[in-house]
Amino acid sequence: MQSDNPTAAILVIGDEILSGRTREGNAHHLAQVLSATGFDLREIRVVSDDHDRIVAAIRALDGSLGGDYDLLFTSGGIGPTHDDITADAVADAHGTTVEIHPEARALLEARCARMGVPLTENRLRMARIPVGATLIDNAVSAAPGFSIGRTHVMAGVPEVFRAMVDWLLPRLGAGRPVQSLSVEVRRGESDVAEDLKAVAGEYADLSLGSYPFHDQSGWGTNLVVRGLDEARVAEAMDALKARLKL
């Protein structure tokens, strides 16, 4: 699919994802939001809680550091425990240091006061922000994410991650939302492959895909046409249906 939208990558950080202990859902959610708001997601990567691997991934993905994409979104590793090392790794990747951010500290102090709990050293870890970064609002639990370069760092807790995404995305320069049409056929992929290939060749500016499924009625295939021009997507879908005699 031809696109002039900003390109993006997602970096998911956490041993719990790689071990299978936690089912990853943040990247799936963000992928849907990016497509709907005009960002071209090109890559999703998962790394362990390893400082050097996080640094290497950020440098490979953040366009401001010579990486591949206009925007990088990260999930995980900014909590209060010893293995929450994302802030340090992001700072290292961007050539800066981490310090207690005064606004972040004030947000945590206010939340702790409301909850009637002390602002412990562990809780204060969530105010450690790379120097030069700006904060990402957290309407759920106050502890902020942050942005530096083209890297946008968000929490791993799904509810908090989604709140940060909701705050952040409208403040970024979006492109055109992806338009999509689909049709379900009761045929296997092999039976529709030639027709799909022919239409894809006629509409090289669009993305045409086939996604098989199996249910109680047997095998079927969902055929999907995606692109940035709504009329062009509809035209391609009509051409595909005509070839398949639907």
Q: What is the mean pLDDT of residues 197-210?
A: 97
Q: How many CB atoms lie within 10 A of CB 184?
A: 12
CA distance 78 to 153: 8
Question: What value does the mean pLDDT take over residues 218-243?
Answer: 97
Looking at residue 2, its pLDDT comes to 87
Domains parsed from the chain with CATH numbers: 7-171 (3.40.980.10), 179-244 (3.30.70.2860)
Mean pLDDT, the chain, rounded, equals 97
CA angle 145, 149, 151 (to 5 degrees): 45
Over residues 63-77, the mean pLDDT reads 97
Give residue 138's pLDDT.
98
Where is pLDDT greater, at 1 or 172?
Answer: 172
Q: Mean of the pLDDT values across residues 146-153?
A: 98
Distances (CA, A) of 188 to 75, 87, 103, 209: 37, 47, 57, 13
- Average pLDDT, integer, range 12-41: 96
pLDDT at 77 over 90: yes
CB contact at 8 A, 112 and 123: yes
* Contact predicate 51/61, CB 8 Å: no
Residues 22-48: what's their mean pLDDT?
Answer: 97
What is the per-residue pLDDT for 161?
98
Q: What is the mean pLDDT of residues 99-108?
A: 98
CA distances from 218 to 1, 25, 156, 215, 244 (A): 31, 29, 38, 5, 19
The Cβ of residue 132 has, within 10 Å, a number of other Cβ atoms equal to: 14
Confidence (pLDDT) at 1: 85
Segment 172-186, tens digit of pLDDT: 998 999 999 999 999
> pLDDT, tens digit, for every residue of 80-102?
999 999 999 999 999 999 999 99
| Closest listed residue to residue 76, CA positions, set 139, 25, 20 | 25
Q: How confident is the model at residue 217 (pLDDT cuts 50, 70, 90)?
A: confident
Q: What percent of the chain has pLDDT over 90?
A: 97
* Confidence grade of residue 26 (pLDDT, cut at 50, 70, 90): very high
The pLDDT score that the predictor gives to residue 45 is: 98
Residue 36 has pLDDT above 90, yes or no: yes
Is the distance from CB of 84 to CB of 50 less than 8 angstroms? no
